[in-house]
Amino acid sequence: MQCYNHDDQNAVGLCKACGKGLCHDCAADLGHGLACKGVHEDKVTSLNQITTKSAEIYNAAPKNALIAPLFVLAMGAIFIGSGFYYGIGRSTLSTTMGVLFAVYGLVMLVRNRALYGKDRS
Ligand SMILES: [Zn+2]
Ligand SMILES: [Zn+2]
């Protein structure tokens, strides 16, 4: 493949913004891709920023997936705790709620961990 601007030069890569072939003289290496020097540098820089941001969001997702189950488990612990505090016989509802929350939290935790493992492999 030849450079878009220089027929006698071999292209070293493609501009990330317009996809044209670029030789060493025409290419601006922006770390995560090439850009037409002086033409698409700004555009490719912002494209790279978007890519980096979405990668950060993706990496943060598994951690967020663990927060919800832990919150539900904490709710369960509070309900069970208050159930014991007031006496099981007198606050069966609270204890039942606590057990339901705890089971739901555990199921969410196991399911989210399975998803997390699948993403990783
Ligand atoms: Zn370009
Ligand atoms: Zn060139």
pLDDT tens string 22-81: 999 999 999 888 999 999 999 999 998 888 888 887 777 666 677 888 888 888 888 878
Residue 12 lies in a domain: no
Distance from residue 103's CA to the centre of ligand 2 (Å): 64
Residue 121: its pLDDT value, please?
46
- Which pLDDT score, from 0 to 100, does residue 119 have? 54
Average pLDDT in the chain: 84
pLDDT of residue 118: 57
Q: Distance, CA 10 to ligand 1 centroid (Å)? A: 16
Q: What phi, psi does 88 have (nearest 5°)?
A: -60, -40
Distance from residue 7's CA to the centre of ligand 1 (Å): 16
Model confidence at 106, pLDDT cuts 50, 70, 90, reads confident
Q: Is 50 part of a structural domain of the chain?
A: no
96 inside domain: yes
Of 109, 104, 93, 99, nearest to 77 by C-alpha is 99
**Would residue 113 count as lying in a domain?**
yes
Q: Which of 44-48, 81-85, 87-91 has the lowest mean pLDDT?
A: 87-91
Phi/psi-derived region of residue 4, left when phi > 0, alpha when psi is between -120 and 50, beta in every other case? alpha
Instruction: Please report whether residue 95 resides in a domain.
Output: yes
Domain that residue 98 falls in: 59-120
When divided into structural domains, the chain yields a total of 1
Residue 47 alpha carbon to ligand 2 centre in Å: 22
pLDDT band at 115 (very low <50, low <70, confident <90, very high): low
